[in-house]
Amino acid sequence: MATQLDKTNLLNAYRTMKQIREFEERVHVEFATGDIPGFVHLYAGEEAVATGVCMHLNQRDKIASTHRGHGHCIAKGVDIDAMMAEIYGKRTGSCGGKGGSMHIADISKGMMGANGIVGAGPPLICGAALAAKFKGDQGVGVAFFGDGASNQGTTFESLNLSMVWKLPVLFGAENNGYAESTGVKFNVPTANISDRAAGFGMPGITVDGNDFFAVYEAAGEAIKRARAGGGPTLLECKTNRFFGHFEGDAMTYRAKGEVKDLRERCDALKIFSTQVTSRGLLSQEEMTTIDSEVKAAIDKAVALAKAAPNPTAADLLTDVYIAY
Amino acid sequence: MATQLDKTNLLNAYRTMKQIREFEERVHVEFATGDIPGFVHLYAGEEAVATGVCMHLNQRDKIASTHRGHGHCIAKGVDIDAMMAEIYGKRTGSCGGKGGSMHIADISKGMMGANGIVGAGPPLICGAALAAKFKGDQGVGVAFFGDGASNQGTTFESLNLSMVWKLPVLFGAENNGYAESTGVKFNVPTANISDRAAGFGMPGITVDGNDFFAVYEAAGEAIKRARAGGGPTLLECKTNRFFGHFEGDAMTYRAKGEVKDLRERCDALKIFSTQVTSRGLLSQEEMTTIDSEVKAAIDKAVALAKAAPNPTAADLLTDVYIAY
Amino acid sequence: MARKLSFKDAINEAIAQEMERDQSVIVMGEDNVGGAGSPGEMDAWGGVLGVTKGLYPKFGERVMDTPISESAFIGAAIGAASCGMRPIAELMFVDFMGVCFDQIYNQAAKFRYMFGGKAETPVVIRTMIGGGFRAAAQHSQCLYPIFTHIPGLKCVIPSGPYEAKGLLIQAIRDNDPVIFFEHKAMYALKAEVPEEPYALPFGEAKLLRSGEQVTIVAFGLMVQRALQAAEALANNGIDCEVVDPRTTSPLDETTILQSVAKTGRLVVVDEAYPRCGMAADISALVAQKGFESLQAPVIMVTPPHVPPPFNGALEDLYMPDSARIEAAVQSIVK
Amino acid sequence: MARKLSFKDAINEAIAQEMERDQSVIVMGEDNVGGAGSPGEMDAWGGVLGVTKGLYPKFGERVMDTPISESAFIGAAIGAASCGMRPIAELMFVDFMGVCFDQIYNQAAKFRYMFGGKAETPVVIRTMIGGGFRAAAQHSQCLYPIFTHIPGLKCVIPSGPYEAKGLLIQAIRDNDPVIFFEHKAMYALKAEVPEEPYALPFGEAKLLRSGEQVTIVAFGLMVQRALQAAEALANNGIDCEVVDPRTTSPLDETTILQSVAKTGRLVVVDEAYPRCGMAADISALVAQKGFESLQAPVIMVTPPHVPPPFNGALEDLYMPDSARIEAAVQSIVK
Ligand SMILES: Cc1ncc(C[n+]2csc(CCOP(=O)(O)OP(=O)(O)O)c2C)c(N)n1
Ligand SMILES: Cc1ncc(C[n+]2csc(CCOP(=O)(O)OP(=O)(O)O)c2C)c(N)n1
Ligand SMILES: [Mg+2]
Ligand SMILES: [Mg+2]
């Protein structure tokens, strides 16, 4: 482990991952009660990716996210009370209840939005990176996208455009093996999604997306290069989702016992804990303390969300234009 | 020259290339008189590509073409009288005067249409190949597209889809160095467009597109593999266009003397002539005879086109639907 | 014909029956089988809401999963159609048209005209429309006015299971490109549906209720709401005629104009955006060709010029409901 | 202000002046410089018809060529806009919207609403529309009704050089996404254009001719033809009012309704397809909100429900001309 993360950072990494996990496990439970409307896609299992990447970013940096956006939001510092309220459709939500799970955004934090359109993020992040280039502020853009999204024309075009314009972009491919019910083995004819980078003259690398440190290091290198004007990188993180494609998915396309097995063998939080405790970097207690803090925070977020008011009828008509 | 083309085929190859060249040189001249309406993109200089590929095809096989489609049409056996009449917008044209240069098609010949939308052909040809697969008729589909079109999302998606569905497709990339005024060096960050194939697990190969035999052999192998169920290939042919992007283009983005030089050094017809005469496969006279036959045929096509009637007012409203 | 079928099952049955009848009918779409390349069961999904489930076990390779590459596979469906197949491609949500629209309106729609009548493109594109799912702005749109705008496309909006089966069978047999819009909030709706295959002709509106005072033209899910409103209005002594055009292109102008000629009043109810939308289209038709019989302003009942909101209370306000339809009718009969 | 400028040069000047004023304005599009990666001159094209020519020598890297990847670069313009830039992206022909429409209507148009008012996307997308070039079905469309359909977009159709400059400056300064439709047949048209920068407000129609008997509403190139028709009709003693809405979204309903209130008659002239088009939109507006003053059927003068044909004689028949406008007016005043 070549990484030189100090204790604060290690605790932060753990806290972020735990927050994502707890947030998602809780949304899963609450969704089942029928209180949460719409389509909800959970990020549980993929925590190391968002966390390992976003720890290199500051507020000047931008990320573009996907339909499975809660983890990216949390890792980029979006307020979890506002997120939870948004998922409940409440007026206090990040988007005033108008967006919901699929559209949580906080541009002030550099989070340019979850997105209901597969492959919509990569073009947008090219623009964010272009803006950074014009501003000369060393900012970078990260587009997260799935294995399924890696087949969308918009994604390919963006890989190319980012090379043509030499943009400071990290393409973060989250290969969780599935696009809805369809396996990556069907959709992607190469062993790795990162194999596509070479066709654009771009560095491409694949890491174990359940290993926070592997993601952290590879992302760090790519982001450093991007900031220095060295252009984009395609980083594929192989990971797993612990829930269905969306809440309500019976997952009959998955192998029997698959998720249980993954939760045992490939849990990013467990792997992290083992790594840091075995090396004496963090203690189990330190993490247990975080666990209960996180749990309390999520409890509070849910309670606040449930108690929060709905948008008013007048809200229906506002926020379409700045001026019309 | 490993190719085993017999004399008839060699004469056919020459005739096709000559027909394309003569057709385009003549359209260039006629366009300048103001008689030909609309946008016209000439294929002169790229004859070896369409010819070398299409000589492997029969009527059951399909091609999808581009805005620069005359050469593909001729190579696929579309009637040149009907083509010329279409370019003039006449009722006797391949499309009754409703399509023009950018939309010449003859589905009965397996020519699925020139296309005004860059990158529209590759998806369509995947469908043609899929149909062939269902019919089990060993048919193949060829999508021609330019270096510029190689950056369109539709093209990338099609490369991938053809692998996922293992379709009998040949992607014929015609790299003539320019997309309108923009150079391939700007648009395509790798040395070869064929470098993109690997990212889809597809064979990719680059040949000298001015060398008929090089194209013919590489295409032959790929098409044979496709017919046998071996899936798609990306074949890049490096070639040159002898005219502007479209008629009326002043070409100030090209080097001084560039076209003149290309016409001297890289003329597919000259190269072919040298190859076949030096090897004693065809005589100069045989080709000169073809030259005059072709010239007469083009003269006739132009005369017929000029004399042909316009569509009638009633034609405006027909052919939108089969039944409405 | 006492058998009841859901809207979803009616669609599934139409496809299955046509696939049995005609080998050239094939099905493709994201997760339309469900499970390709995955370790578990095949036919796991049958499309995101299960409409094509059960077709793969019956028809095998003629039902295909696709990568998330709408331009490529919708384009492939169109290309295959012009080579003799009859593909039924699923564009999961109509909201996704933006990544593949070129293949639909510049290719499929125009081949026949551009090629001087020498092309046939018998493709069907099935796609989900509409609100009520709390699915927010990118999964709740209607957008069929955009397709209706395009010459060369046929546009079908079934308002119930009976229409769904008959219109889909017609769509599959039709030799022109057809876009088939399925309102996702209707999938569970049941009604009597004949078992044998039948085709409902395009361009023939259905008169769902006869009335003397006001003509209500409504599309898709709004047909139900128009009927509810008409019922309620009848109890108040207001007699409405309800017309379901069933296809927006071709449009049965005659039935609409005849109805307005009788009633002299028109309310158009549509869930699509109002500007350049279906409600405007029908209103304009009547303002031009039925003006002499119009006795009152035409009223359009649509959502506001606003994207669909996520919050349920807002979405309910957003979508036209029977109360708004009633109010619209009352505003022109009083 | 005696200086005359072509439509094309007016657009170029608007961009140049705004780029001088505001560093955040950048320009991107295929061949918008012309010559990148090529051995000859830079600034060789300035876009396919030369509209942006001369900007690169003045502004250098702020004017960018792009690959043929409309989704990526239009999306990048939108992304950059939401990060503080003011990009002007060129979608060469509006006919190409089909390969990149998602970024426009699901992203740019919806950010502000979906994100609860917390996004600003000051992007301008310039695009060429219209017929008359013998450019056939994939290079002659108008399609602005499709953009007008979408809440969240603003749509501008300048009818001449003066409007082009003032409306484009407004578009660039505007904080919402604006689609700017340039009729390619007008690029050479000259008119007086002030040298200093000026912004024309959106949602304010221009009354081009006052009249008492019939209101003619027309868009873009059709404004000229409507004026010609009005002139000819005046010689026949028919007094028309001609209104150019200039922006279809927002739409100046008031001016249109006031005009019809005065004249009692409406002819709408539009070059876009008729179904769910602008002509229908304006007709429906008046049928709903101006019905009381209407004394005759509304007449829509548009192309037929047919793709644009290639042949010049057919295309001339296809596009509305002043003779058809005159006939339409006459049909409702007699
Ligand atoms: C353009 C578009 N096509 C299809 C969909 C429907 N859809 C939503 S998520 C999804 C699967 C995405 O798979 P992947 O990119 O691997 O992300 P994951 O869900 O695994 O995180 C699909 C097909 C969509 N939202 N947008
Ligand atoms: C989707 C789309 N974008 C842009 C254009 C405009 N356009 C027509 S041809 C062309 C250049 C194509 O370059 P290439 O693919 O290399 O083909 P070539 O002209 O060199 O044969 C462009 C940009 C178009 N027709 N369609
Ligand atoms: Mg995935
Ligand atoms: Mg080229």
- The CATH code of the domain that includes C26 is 3.40.50.970
Torsion angles phi and psi, residue B132, rounded to 5: -60, -40
D86 within domain boundaries: yes
How many domains is chain D built from? 2
Which atom of ligand 1 is least distant from the CA of A180? 11
* The two structure tokens encoding residue B109: 């010949």
When computed from its CA atoms, the radius of gyration of chain D, rounded to whole angstroms, is 20
Q: How far is the CA of B41 from the centre of ligand 4 (A)?
A: 11
Q: Is C9 helix (H, G, I), strand (E, B) or coil?
A: helix
CATH number, domain with residue D282: 3.40.50.920
If you ran DSSP here, which 8-state letter would residue C96 be given? Answer: G
Domains of chain A: 2-317 (3.40.50.970)
**Closest C-alpha to D268, from D241, D234, D236:** D241
C197 touches chain B (CB under 8 A): no
Q: Which residues of D touch A130 (CB under 8 A)?
A: 76, 79-80, 85
CB atoms A196 and B197 under 8 Å: no
The one-character DSSP state at B243 is: S
Answer yes or no: is D300 within a domain: yes
- Could you tell me if C75 and C144 lie in one domain? yes
Question: Is residue B89 helix, strand or coil?
Answer: coil
Predicted-complex ipTM score: 0.98
Of chain D, the percentage scoring pLDDT greater than 90 comes to: 99
Q: Say yes or no: C243 and C136 in one domain.
A: no
Q: Is A196 on the interface with C (CB under 8 A)?
A: no
For ligand 2, mutation pick of D68, D73, D127 (most atoms within 8 Å of CB): D68
pLDDT value at residue D2: 78
How many Cβ atoms are within 10 Å of A208's Cβ, its own excluded?
17
Q: Of D167, D192, D217, which residue constitutes the final position of a domain?
A: D192
Q: Which atom of ligand 2 is nearest to the CA of B67?
A: 9
- The answer, yes or no, to whether residue B160 has pLDDT greater than 70, is yes
Q: Cβ D117–A319 below 8 Å, yes or no?
A: yes
Q: Does D313 touch chain B (CB under 8 A)?
A: yes
pLDDT, position B1: 52
Output the residue whose Cα is nearest ligand 2's atom 8. Answer: B118
Which one of C192, C215, C235 terminates a domain? Answer: C192
Residue D229 lies inside a defined structural domain of this protein:
yes
Per-residue pLDDT, B85: 98
Is residue C38 assigned to a domain? Answer: yes
Given pLDDT bands bounded at 50, 70 and 90, which one contains residue A1? low
- Calculate how far, in angstroms, residue D117's C-alpha sits from the geometric centre of ligand 1: 26
Cα-flanking dihedrals φ and ψ of residue B237, to 5°? -115, 115
Mean pLDDT value of segment C275-297: 98
Helices marked H in B188-320: 212-227, 258-265, 268-278, 284-307
Q: In whole angstroms, give the CA distance from residue B176 to residue B193.
A: 11
Confidence class for position B263, pLDDT limits 50, 70, 90: very high
- Indicate if C25 and C170 belong to the same structural domain: yes
A316 touches chain D (CB under 8 A): no
The per-residue pLDDT for C151 is: 98
Q: Print the domain residue range for D301.
A: 206-332
In a domain, C172, yes or no: yes
D47 and D166, same structural domain? yes
Looking at the structure, tell me whether residues C223 and C250 fall in a common domain.
yes
Residues D81 and D180 in one domain: yes
Burial C176-189 (b: 16+ CB within 10 A, else e): bbbbbbbbbbbbeb
- Reported confidence tier of residue C225, pLDDT bands at 50, 70, 90: very high
Q: What share of chain D is helix, strand, coil (3-state, %, to 5)?
A: 40, 20, 40
Residue D66 is encoded by which pair of tokens?
A: 């792009």
Residue C194 burial (10 A CB sphere; 0-12, 13-18, 19+): middle
Last residue of a domain, one of C164, C192, C220: C192
Band of the pLDDT at C334, cuts 50, 70, 90?
confident
Residue of chain D with shortest Cα separation from B90: D311
pLDDT at A4: 79
Over the stretch D1-39, which tens digit does the pLDDT of each residue have? 579 999 999 999 999 999 999 999 999 999 999 999 999
Q: Is the domain of D155 the same as that of D188?
A: yes
Q: Report pTM.
A: 0.98
Q: Which residues are in the CB-under-5-Å shell of ion ligand 3?
A: A 146-147, 176, 178
Write out residues with Cβ below 6 Å of ligand 1: A 66-68, 116-119, 146-149, 176, 178-180, 245; C 30, 68, 70, 92, 96, 99
Minimal CA separation from D158 to chain C, in Å: 19
Contact A153 B152 (CB under 8 A): yes
C38 and C185 within one domain? yes
Exposure string over B139-161, b if 16+ CB within 10 A, otherwise e: bbbbbbbbbbbbbbbbbbbbbbb
SS3 category, A91: coil
- pLDDT at position B3: 63
**C149 catalytic, yes or no?**
no
Sequence-distant (≥ 6) Cβ neighbours of residue D235 within 8 angstroms: none
Query: Are C72 and B158 in contact (CB < 8 Å)?
Result: yes
Q: Is D309 within 8 Å of B316 (Cβ atoms)? A: yes
Averaged pLDDT of chain B: 97
Residue C197, domain member (yes or no): no
pLDDT at A3: 64
> C140-158, pLDDT tens digit by residue?
999 999 999 999 999 999 9
Give the 3-state secondary structure of residue D50.
Answer: coil
Beta carbons of D76 and A161 less than 8 Å apart? yes
Say yes or no: C274 and C185 in one domain: no
Q: Is the CB of B200 under 6 A from ligand 2?
A: no
Residues D222 and D181 in one domain: no
Q: A321 vs D119: CB contact, 8 Å cut-off?
A: no
**Same domain flag for D41 and D187:** yes
d(CA A100, CA B164): 34
What span, in angstroms and rounded, lies between the C-alpha atoms of A202 and C191? 56
The answer as to whether D198 is a domain residue is: no
| D216 in the same domain as D152 | no
